[in-house]
Structure 1
Amino acid sequence: MDGVIMIRQETEEDFRQVQEVVRLAFQGVEESDRTEHLLVERLRRSDAYIPQLSLVAETDGKIAGHVLLSEVKVVSGSDVHTVLSVAPLSVLPAYQRKGIGGMLLREAHKRALELGYGAVLLLGHEDYYPRFGYGRASMFGIRFPFDAPDACCMAMELKAGGLDGIHGMVHYPDAFGME
């Protein structure tokens, strides 16, 4: 990796290359069902999609990484709160462990805050995401609708108090194919 890394909003012209980046990024991940690239396509067609929060990392004349933050709901009784979910964060295998994922995540957080969002949730590796401020979602009273280790179900406030009063079950949009 010789070139400068540029983080920018994804464009429609990037869709095919992003699909391949996402597919390759998860190819060797044991916990993956290898359909994350299809999730990105479904999310782009959903109401949960926020174009400004679909970012690519470009270097050496190609896309090396991608992150997508989309809207999810946290529901407790009649209380419904909109937060964001990181799904997925992808870096081509040849570019992994070079800081690109962190750059994408930090820029996505910054842009999400500028758009007025207060918090982000994710299901991810318990040793990776805490360095960016994520902690156990259960500490906020937030539960995920699937069986996963508590340490991998995470939440982060983008601003102080971003999760105040928010607790309950995460409801993913239909694009996630969970119902």
Structure 2
Amino acid sequence: MNISRNEHRARRLLIRDETTADIPAISRLVTEALRMLAQSTGTEASIVEALRAAGALALSLVAEEGGEVIGYLAASEGRVGAEGGWGLIGPLVVLPSRHRQGIGTALMAEALRRLRETSRGAALVGDPAYYGRFGFRAFAGLSVAGCPPEVVQALPFDGGEPRGELIHHPAFGLDQQA
């Protein structure tokens, strides 16, 4: 049986909950991976640390290969207007040298699987071309102040249409309605 390099890598990839020992690697990874994005504020690792300190991480998943943390996904509870129960995804990062190898896809698939058990839907602010393949899309009534409407996206698990401002945890430092 012939196994391609990517198939072999996929077999060794482990998606799991973070451990305390992973925290320094997560902070480095978030900073390094987001440094290359124009919209990065450089505060993303601090946001994850604040969410963790507040007990606000609904999910904190790592992608590990060969004992190394190469990907990370956080989800916290969000609201759409007054409607709670939304899983707010972000950040989702992969080590830059490991892009386009299915690591982000594996993290997102696991996050969505878990969020379907506990949330009314998932929401995020991100690239429509990337997140659209997971079923995320913009909705006319969904917004985040200061963000272009096409990057504010949701995946309602009940097929409904979310309407209102996507409210993040205060750790994100956004000026939002409480």
3-state SS in 2 of match to 1:73: strand
Amino acid at match of 2:33: A
Matched ranges for 1:1-179 at <5 A: 3=9, 4-50=12-58, 53-75=59-81, 79-114=82-117, 116-138=118-140, 141-144=141-144, 146-157=145-156, 159-161=157-159, 163=160, 166-179=162-175
Give the secondary-structure state (helix, strand or coil) at the position aligned to 1:30.
coil
**Native 8 Å contact 2:87 2:121 kept in 1:** yes
What percent of counterpart residues are identical?
33
Using the TM superposition, give the Cα deviation of residue 80 of structure 1 relative to its aligned residue in structure 2, in angstroms: 3.3
Q: Which amino acid aligns with 1:170?
A: L
- How far 1:47 moved relative to its partner? 4.6
Q: Name the SS of the counterpart of 2:33 in structure 1.
A: helix
Please give the TM-score of this superposition, normalised by the length of structure 1.
Answer: 0.86
Aligned-partner SS, 1:68: strand
SS at match of 1:128: helix
Structure 2 length-normalised TM: 0.87
Letter of the aligned partner of 1:177 in structure 2?
A: G
Cα distance in 1 between the residues matched to 2:67 and 2:22: 12
Give the counterpart letter for 1:152 in structure 2: V
State the shift of 1:81 in Å.
2.4
RMSD over aligned Cα atoms = 1.7
SS of 1:120's partner is strand
Q: Distance in 2 between matches of 1:137 and 1:54?
A: 26
Structure possessing the higher relative contact order (Cα contacts under 8 Å, 6 or more residues apart): 1
Gaps of 5+ in 1: none
> Which one-letter code corresponds to 1:135 in the other structure?
R
Identify the structure with the greater helix proportion: 2
Rounded Cα–Cα distance in structure 2 between residues aligned with 1:49 and 1:30: 25
User: 1:137 Cα deviation (Å)?
Assistant: 3.1
Q: SS at 1:127's partner residue?
A: helix
Q: Distance in 1 between matches of 2:172 and 2:147?
A: 16
Asked whether the 8 Å contact 1:121–1:137 carries over to 2, the reply is no
